[in-house]
Structures are given as structure tokens and as C-alpha cells.
Structure 1
Amino acid sequence: MTYPKPSREQFPNDFIWGVATSSFQIEGAHQADGKGPSIWDTFCDQKGKIADGSNGHAACEHYHRWQEDVELIAGLGVNAYRFSMSWPRVQPDGRGEWNEAGFAFYERLIDALNAQGVALHLTLNHWDLPQALQDEGGWANRKICGHFTRYATEVARRFGSRLASICTHNEPWVIAVLGYEQGIFAPGIQSRAQAMQAMHHLLLSHGMALQAMRALGLSTPMGIVLNLSPIYPASESPEDIAKAKLDDGLILRLYMDALYRATYPQDVIHHLAEDAPVVHDGDMATIAQSLDFLGVNYYTRNFSSCGNPWDVASTGNQVTDMGWEVYPQGLTELLCRLHQDYQPKVLMVTENGAAFKDEYKEGVIDDESRLAYVREHIAATRAAIEQGVPVCGYFAWSLLDNFEWASGYAKRFGLVHVDFETQKRTLKNSAIWYQHFLSEKSRGSN
């Protein structure tokens, strides 16, 4: 399926156009001004965990180069910036005293971007949990819900009136499954029971935090961000069809049913058996707080098979440097399915982008594949809106090439190239296209 090339005028005048980052991936300054260690600092120190043996100590040095990056963001012509706060930067142990130097950094950043007319969309937890809390069990320990709620309330009290939205957690599935079940992300634990308990506590802390932040009287929209994708059976065999339904339950329905229906899907709970989370009376009602928006991170579709669930070679579609199939129509399908099945008030595409191997030639990065990816997914977003889906925004992932978690610095998602030796920023052609797309009401050659 090929979408018509999009134009800015096809979208509402108040549509949110942005770029996104996360604290650990860009800030660096891992011990600066009283910041405490996070689970990702610890994980990077373990041999063999990061593909290129790197860490986030420097990353993009955004903590020291934030003024340059503010100008970069404003220069793109976006009206919004999605970023995350580093919990251990503002509360080193995840409990106890606040670190005012850390809060001062975010205050400067927020004020500078607001002055440029860029709205701030804050994520409270984009994976960099304070290590001190992990030492007590992390997200698998129910006590963390209270710690997170206190942190969220303090951030909302200080900054809520200057923010366009607040997201509690980014991609709880990744935290729980990749971090606590598969162990390929921080904190590197391999226990399905702990993973499912972590999942429940992430959702419970989300609900508790929403209640506490709203008690402050803020009108700031509040929600959560999930990583979601359509899941197809890899064949027409009954086994693959059943596996696809189960995987959809584990990745999408487990979270969406809890958030919108105050229940976990029974087929998934039955499958988890003794690894199903312990749920206390009242937990599900707390989780299912009314959401002002649902953030959706989409990169590709997935296949389920009793054999190899990631084999998409037979589709003939382009594959990114992450090995992910380029499939923009999956975004349209996903947004329409969420609207039909759960009726969120508002949907935002909070991350969408692609890693490709970039060639830097005489100051130019002609990343045609990334440019086409962004353009086609913007068109896919438009197609969902045309079908009545209330999508209010699109954030490209990511602003900068950065520390790409377990891949280190080997995978580049940025619209802006970063030379990690000199920290020089250079707009790729994808960034220039996005800039032109946003600045011109009608472009016959988009």
C-alpha cells in the first residue's frame, strides 16, 4: 500500500508536531551536580550488556549543550518537544531529599523552550530508575508505587502549569519484559513472575500518580505511553493463529484492558498461571483512571509463530538497521483498532522513526530512507484521522542520534546527526524535509 504524499494543510491548525528524546539517551553528565546512579548506569557497567561496550556517561552532552539544542529544536519549526526527566537527577535515591540542582536544569530547559513557543510534553519515567530503588526490588516491589507517586506529584507541583502534557511511564512493556523477564535491558533480571509483578506495579503507580497530580488542581493533560503494533500470524496454521492472539494479549490487551476496562484479559492471566501478578482489592480501579490522552509508540508490525516470530523476509518490504520491517499501514491499522476497541479520548503518536546507516559526505547526510519513513508514517497518521480516529499529534523519534540502549551508539535514529567525538550537530536531509513540511502550508512536491 502506498499513501499519497502528505501536506501540512491536511492536518488541523492545532495539530501537535514534535520531536522526542529521553533523558538517559541524550543528557550525559551521569554524576554531575548531585545526580544519583540509575539502573542503566549499572547495566552499562556489566560486561557484554551493551553491543559496543559503551555507556551513557557522555551521550549527546545535552546537559551541558541544552541551549544549543533548544535553538536546534526551535529551528526545526516544531511546536512541541517530548522529553523525559531523569528521576535520579532530581531525587538521587528515588526517595528522600530533592536535588535542587537537577530541578534547576529542567527549569532552565522548560523556560527556554516555552520562550521559543515550543510546548513541553514531559515523561516522568523513561526507564532510568534510581539504582537505590532497584536495590529494594525495583518495579517488582509494591513499595515503589508510593515512591513514584511522590516523585510525580513533586514534579507536577513545580512544573505542571508550564507543561502541555505529563506522561507517567514510557513503554511499561519494555521495562517489564525486556528488563525483568528477558534481561536484555536494565535491570537485567530473568524472571517472568517478577516481570508481571513489575508490569502491575507500573500500571498501579501510573494510576496512583494521576490521582495525586490531579489533586493539585492542575488542568495539564495527563496520560501514559505504550509501545504497540499489529501482530499477525506468520502462517495460517492454527498454532500460529493462536500464538498471535496470545501475543496480542501479552503486548496490547494486557495494558489496554487494564487502563480502559479495569481488568486483565482472562486468557492472558490463564496463560501466565503462577506467574500472574498479585493484585490487591481496588488496584484495577486505581489503574483505570480517566486518561486525557494515550500515547502510541509505533515502529513496525510483528509476526507470531511457533517457529521464528521475527522472520519478515518474505514480505519483500524494506528493513531498517534494527532489522524492523518498514510497514506504515500498520500505524493506520493500529490507531483505528485502538479507537474502535477502546475509544481513547485522544491519541498521540509519541514516537515514530527508523534507524539507518547514514553516510556523512561533505557536510550532507542524505538519509532518503529515513525521510521516506517519516513522510509515509505521517501520511499513515493522516489516513487514520480520515477514518475518524482522534489523533492530535505526531512526534518523530528522535531529535538526535543518541545512546540507543543495548545497541549503544551503533544505531542512529536521529533527524540530526551527532558526531560523538566532537558533539557537532548536523541536520540530516530528513530533518530538512520535516522543517520544510512544517513551514509551508502546501507543498506540491512533498
Structure 2
Amino acid sequence: MSFPDKFSWGAVTSAYQIEGAWEADGKGPSVWDMFTRRRGHVWDGQTGQVACDHYNHYKGDVALMAQMGLNAYRFSVCWPRVMPSGTGAVNEAGLAFYDRLVDELLAAGVQPWVTLFHWDFPYQLFLRGGWLNPESPAWFAKYTAAVVDRLSDRVTHWVTLNEPQCFIGLGHASGEHAPGLKLDLPEVLLAGHHALLAHGRAVEVIRERAKKKPIVGWSPAGTIYYPATESSEDIAAARVATNSVWPDGVWNNRWWGDPVVFGNYPEEGLRVYGAAAPRATKADFKIIQQPIDFYGCNIFQGEAIKAGPGGAPTLAPLPPGHPRTLYLWSQTPEALYWGPKFLAETYKLPIVITECGMSNCDMVGHDGRVHDQVRIEFMISYLLQLRRALAEGIDVRGYFNWSLMDNFEWQEGYKHRFGLIHVDYATQRRTLKDSAHWFREVIVSNGAALEKYVPDAGPPQPYVIQETMRYVAAHVGESFNIKDLAAHLRCHPDFLSRKFKQQVGEDLSAYIRRVRIDHARELLKQSGSLIDDVAEKSGFSDRIHFTKVFRRVTGQTPGQFQRQFRAGVGERAGVVADPRLKSKNPRSATGA
């Protein structure tokens, strides 16, 4: 199986992590320049002042991208390199660097994807309140205008913000990242609200000023829960967890994604955050909810979930010895199937995997090569799961590996190596790792090279079974029975039932009931849904029959299920939630 035509195969970096040249050619300081100058913030006192010196080595780096076969490269623009004070005067030398980089990429056949903000907030604007200042969205809009005016005659792909959960949660709540603040939840959420407004203002500016038709999205951190098994109960529990907002932090999907796509904060979020939630107006949401063309997601790992009592999501611990990266992040390739699947179901937008990768302790061997087989195995397993998502019709438009090259890993300094390219920081020598050569094979074949890693699944299901499943899914809201199905397939009902049982291992009537009830569960979660309407939309003739079947399948009445969902995961009536489930940082080994 090949991936779709025009699929974006890329790698990604950020300005502070690779550029260096921290005060060259008129660049102003960022909060990361401030944060790293104080010992104790970063491992071994390291900084990004030089990093990969990409500012001076960009031509060679682009040549390596071409050698790898990349057709896309996502990089970020350093805000204070373009506007040293964050607003006001534009630094011509700073813009000229990105001019040269874009031209070099296009000449090499690599599509530039420009990220406008990847955490290097201008220091001078931090002194004026940073993201807590209600003027920050306007500051960001002016900076965006300068970049768009300069680059949009050649750049068509734009990402507004990278991982607001991280630069707000780690930068303003835990203090692990710049600017190192440890604010209370009301101020944390206020800073987040201003960042969302900045996203909306940036989209407005891009659409108003771009010289070429823009393709615009954003890149939040994917907080992904996947089912421990593929039972309908575990899938439903994982879906609930992925869509939940937790009261003890900002690590979730819906609080950030719903304003961008739907124009409101989710009801569960408003309930669990309570008085800490910002006082948002309709005018605010009108700004935030600008049309976007894709939903980016950065997915590195996920949490396995099983259905507990009453269907409540419960953590399913991984076994001892489960593969982990050097960062101690769990290797859970299932996250790259269930994450895009759940997010696409919720937001109905094309998905782009804007970051996915692993940290390793790579080194140049005696033969002059970097043999990172562990990363190759990681990429195989994750890309096979993404391939599965595509095969099931999920609209995935691109995959960007984190990262193009080894770089400064924020508070971890140079401890971790995420790159497809090894960097010797003392000499700035670059070496393509084995994973880079392997990735080239995948890219040149447009994903077909993954075929040899697909386990033999045996003979495909007979057409009659495939069509039965398709028909049930497509007509779940209609009243039909096995006789109707058999008539559609022009076969005898007994033959169809017997064949389905042989191939699937489940009675056809039970399968139809399960699909209807799964559909009903999703409808019952929606605000304002009425049980009578849900029964009708799930293909049941009356509420009494629906309630009986629902109780038989789930152990609850529709009303009980609806009440527990609306109560929130952590406070469901009659349901004891797993105390280990909480707001979890998807970039952490501990979830803290």
C-alpha cells in the first residue's frame, strides 16, 4: 500500500533548538536566552546559544534534506530575530536569513512549512507581561504580518502555534521551561486564552495578506489514550479519556482544540476548571475560531486504557520491560493510529502528524556511521499504525519526524539525540544516521517500502463480510434486520448469519446491536441529546427496546450512561474513576 499522492514526508526543527547565533545580526533576546543564563534550569548548564549553528550551516543542512529525499521541512521563525523587541521595528537581517532558507529549500525541492511560534517569546515583551498581557495577541499579529509579507510569495504552508499545552503548562505552571513561571491555574488559563487569541489573529493575518493561497493549521500536543484491547468497551473508554478535560492541569486536547474548531470551551472543561476558567466573550471566540485547513498533532506516546466499572477509563499498566526511549517515554505505536482516529472523529479535519520521534544515545561508530536501529524499529512500528489509519479512510496529509537533527532539548540540554542527522556539537559535523537512509527508502516509495514489515494477516475477508460491515456502519441510524441485509447482498439470511459467525466469530445479530449501541453512546455524550432521539438515530423502533438492549450490552441504562458522562470522568455518579488518571504531560515519563 502506498500513501496518498502529495503526502508530505518531512522532518521538523525549532529555531532556538538549532539556529544558534543567539545575538547575531541584530537579533533580540528571547525568554529562552533569559532562562538558560541561570544555572540550575538546564541540564549541565547548557544553552542554545550555538546549538547546531544552523544559522551559518543552513545550506549544508538543506543539502542533507535533499539527500534524504524529504519533500517537506517544518521549521520555526524566531520572533525576536525578526522583531528584536517583539514589536515595532523589523530586523531586516533576521528576515533575510529566512528568505535565504526558503529559497534554498525550494531550490532543493523541499516544501517549507513555517511555524510562527515555537516557544522563543521575545524577552522585551515578557517584561511587559508576556502571554498574560491582553495585548499579546495583537503583538503576535504584527509579527505574523511581517513574516507573511516577506515569505508568502513562496511559502504556502503555515503553522501558527506549536504545542500551547507545553509553553503554557511547562512555562507558566510547572516552571520547567522558559519563562520559568509557577502561576496558579486562573493565570495559567488566562495566558492560554491569550495564546489561543494569538492563533486566531495569526490565521486572520495569513488569510488577509498571503500572496499565495495559504494552507493553515496549528500543532498542539496530542494527549492520546488508546484502548488496551480492541473490545468496544475499551475503545469507548479510551475515546472518553482522550476527550476528557482534567481538573489538575492543562494536558488535554479539548480545552485547546474546541475553541479553535468549534468556537467555544468544552462544557466539561468549564465545569472542572470552574472559577479558574477565563472570562471569554463571544467576540473572543469569533477571533479564535478561524477556519483552518488541517489539524496538526504532535504524538510521541500514549496511555493504554481499559474499561473499568461502569465503563470508566482505567489505566492499563504496561508490562515490565516494555520498550522505552532514552527519555523514558513509552514506545506505544498504537497512539499513531488511535490519536489521528479520535481527533479526526472529533474535529472532522485532515490530520497532519507534525511531530513524532524518539530520543536515543546515538554515536558515530568506528566505521564512521551511526547505527540507530532502535530508531528504525520505532519508525517502522509507528508508521505501520499510521498506515492502518490511512487504510481505514482517516484523512492524514503528512508525517514529520522529530527531529531533522540532534539539537538542544530544552531543559534537558544536549542529553538527548532525536535527530535523523547526528550532530557533533564540538565540530558541527553532520552525519546521516542509518534511520535517515532507511527513511529515504520509505519516502521514495511513498510508503510502499513499509509493506515488507506488515505481518501476514492471512486471506482477506470475503466480500460478503466486508459489505455486511460496511452496510451496518452506513445504515446504523436506520431500522433493518438480517433479512434486509441478506436481500441487499442477494443471499439467504441463514447463509449470511452462518458465514459471518465463521469469519468474525460473533453472531451477526449481536454485531449489529453492538454497532448500534456504540453509535448511541457517542450520541448520548453530546450536550442536549435526548434519549428518544438517540434511540431513533441508532435504528431502534422505540425507547423501551433501546433501553433493554443498551442495558444488556453495557450494564447501564441510557440515562445512567448519560449522567455519568456529563458528570465528568473524575466525578461520575456511581463510578469510581481510576485515581491515576489525571492531567498528564504527554512528553513526560511519569505523566507529571
TM superposition score normalised by structure 2: 0.69
Whole-angstrom distance in 1 between the partners of 2:241 and 2:75: 35
User: Superposition pairs for residues 341-356 of structure 1, below 5 Å?
Assistant: 341-344=346-349, 346-356=350-360
Counterpart for residue 132 of structure 1: 124
Moved more, 266-275 or 84-93: 266-275
Q: Check whether the contact 1:229–1:330 (CA below 8 A) recurs between aligned residues.
A: no
Which shifted more, 110-119 or 223-232?
Answer: 223-232
Of 245-254 and 403-412, the range deviating more from structure 2: 245-254
Corresponding position of 2:547? none
Q: Report whether the alignment pairs 1:170 with 2:162.
A: yes
Q: 1:126 to 1:113 in 2, by over 3 A?
A: same
What is the identity, as a one-letter code, of the residue corresponding to 1:187?
Answer: P
Instruction: Specify the alignment match of 1:208 in structure 2.
Output: 201
- Give the SS at the match of 2:387: helix
**What letter corresponds to residue 178 of structure 1 in structure 2?**
L
Alignment coverage as a number of residue pairs: 430
For structure 1, the residue ranges without an aligned partner over 5 or more in a row are 1-8
CA distance in 2, matches of 1:189, 1:351: 26
> Is the radius of gyration larger for structure 1 or structure 2?
2
The answer to whether structure 1 residue 260 and structure 2 residue 271 are counterparts is no
Task: Give the aligned partner of residue 221 of structure 2.
Answer: 227
Whole-Å separation in 2 of the counterparts to 1:115 and 1:181:
43
Partner SS state of residue 246, structure 1: coil
User: Counterparts of 1:228 and 1:242 in 2: how far apart (Å)?
Assistant: 15
Q: Is 2:66 aligned against 1:65?
A: no
Give distance in 2, aligned partners of 1:29 and 1:229: 33
Q: Secondary structure at the match of 1:350?
A: strand
Question: Deviation digits for residues 176-209 of structure 1, max 9, x if unmatched?
Answer: 1111011111111111222111111111111112
Q: 1:5 — aligned with what?
A: none
CA distance in 1, matches of 2:135, 2:317: 42
2:148 pairs with 1:156 = yes
Indicate conservation of the 8 Å contact 1:226/1:296, yes or no.
yes
Q: RMSD in angstroms over aligned alpha carbons?
A: 2.4
Q: 1:18-47: CA deviations, max 9, x gaps?
A: 111110000000000000000001011122
CA contact (8 A) 1:336 1:387 kept: no
User: In the aligned structure 2, how far is the partner of 1:132 from the partner of 1:303?
Assistant: 43
Deviations 1:209-251 (A, max 9, x none): 21122112541111111111323699x9xxx999884339851
Q: Which amino acid aligns with 2:202?
A: A
Higher RCO (C-alpha under 8 Å, 6+ residues apart): 1
Write the distance in 2 (CA, Å) between the matches of 1:310 and 1:58: 42
Shift of 1:313: 5.0
Question: TM-score normalized by structure 1?
Answer: 0.91
How many percent identity over aligned positions? 38
Residues 76, 116 of structure 2: 8 Å contact kept:
yes
2:245–2:269 CA contact under 8 A, matched in 1: yes
Indicate yes or no: 2:71 matched with 1:79. Answer: yes
In structure 2, relative to structure 1, the CA distance for the partners of 1:92 and 1:370 (3 Å cut) is: same
Conservation of the 8 A alpha-carbon contact between 1:250 and 1:268: no
**Preserved CA contact (<8 Å) 1:123 1:166:** yes
Contact 1:233 1:243 in 2 (8 A): no
Compute the displacement of 1:103 (Å).
0.5
AA aligned to 1:347 is: I
Write the letter of the residue equivalent to 2:221: N
After superposition, residues 236-385 of structure 1 pair within 5 angstroms as 245-247=244-246, 250-302=251-303, 313-314=318-319, 316-344=321-349, 346-362=350-366, 363-385=368-390
The worse-fitting range, judged by mean Cα deviation, of 310-319 and 403-412 is: 310-319
Asked if structure 1 preserves the Cα contact closer than 8 Å seen for 2:3 and 2:387, the reply is yes
- CA apart distance, 1:439: 2.6
Q: Distance in 1 between matches of 2:402 and 2:29?
A: 25
Q: 1:232 to 1:117 in 2, by over 3 A?
A: closer
How far apart are the structure 2 equivalents of 1:329 and 1:247? 22
Shift in Å, 1:275: 2.1
Deviation at 1:133, TM superposition (A): 0.7
Name the SS of the counterpart of 2:44 in structure 1.
coil
Q: Equivalent residue for 1:194?
A: 187
Q: Quick one: structure 1 residues 314 and 62, their matched pair in 2 at CA, closer, same or farther if it must change by over 3 Å?
A: same
Change (3 A) 1:310 1:108: farther
Deviation at 1:281, TM superposition (A): 3.7
Residues of 2 paired with 1:147 and 1:165: CA distance? 22
* Inter-partner Cα distance in structure 2 for 1:370 and 1:243: 29
Q: Deviations over 1:295-350 (max 9, x none)?
A: 1110001379xxxx999553653111111111111111011111112101x21111
Q: Which runs of 5+ in 2 are unaligned?
A: 306-313, 454-592
Q: 1:310 to 1:193 in 2, by over 3 A?
A: farther
Write the letter of the residue equivalent to 1:105.
F
Q: Which stretch of structure 1 is more off in the superposition, 368-377 or 406-415? A: 368-377
